[in-house]
Amino acid sequence: MMKMMIHRAVCHKETAVPVVKLIMLSLVLLVLLLGLQFLPGAVALVSTCRSSCGNIAIKYPFGVDDGCGAPQFRHMLNCSTELFFLTPSGNYKVESIDYDKQTMVVYDPAMSTCSILQPHHDFKMTDIQSAIIPPTSDTVFALLNCSIDSPVLNHYSYLCFNFSGHSCDELYGACNAFRVFHFLTNSSPPCCFTGYDTVKFMSMNILDCTHYTTVVNTDGLRGIAPLDWVYGIKLTYTLPEAGCQRCAQSGGTCGFDTETEGRLCLCSASSNSTRQCGTHIPK
What integer is the mean pLDDT of 43-67?
83
Cα angle, residue 272 at apex, residues 278 and 73 outer, rounded to 5°: 120
The domain of 248 spans 41-47+241-273
171 closest CA partner among 213, 204, 233: 213
Answer whether residue 5 is part of any domain. Answer: no
Answer whether residue 2 is part of any domain. Answer: no
Answer whether residue 104 is part of any domain. Answer: no
Same domain for 216 and 261: no
Same domain for 245 and 192: no
Same domain for 158 and 215: yes
- Residue 255 phi/psi, 5-degree rounding, is -155, -160
Same domain for 220 and 144: yes
Strand partners, 166: 163
Answer whether residue 112 is part of any domain. Answer: no
Answer whether residue 266 is part of any domain. Answer: yes
Same domain for 219 and 141: yes
Same domain for 184 and 248: no
Same domain for 253 and 214: no
Domain count, the chain: 2
What is the DSSP code (8-state) at residue 193? E
Answer whether residue 148 is part of any domain. Answer: yes
Q: What is the pTM of this model?
A: 0.77
Answer whether residue 279 is part of any domain. Answer: no
Provide the pLDDT for residue 48: 73
What integer is the mean pLDDT of 178-206?
87
Provide the pLDDT for residue 245: 82
Distance of alpha carbon 83 from alpha carbon 96, whole angstroms: 9
The better pLDDT of the pair 153, 250 is held by: 153
Burial class (CB in 10 A: 0-12, 13-18, 19+), 2: exposed
- 8 A C-beta contact, residue 274 and residue 252: no
- Residue 87 phi/psi, 5-degree rounding, is -135, 165
Same domain for 251 and 192: no
- 8 A C-beta contact, residue 179 and residue 171: no
Same domain for 201 and 165: yes
Same domain for 268 and 216: no
Burial class (CB in 10 A: 0-12, 13-18, 19+), 261: middle
Question: Sorting pLDDT into bands at 50, 70 and 90, what band is 242?
Answer: low
Q: How far apart are the first and last CA of the chain?
A: 83
Answer whether residue 107 is part of any domain. Answer: no
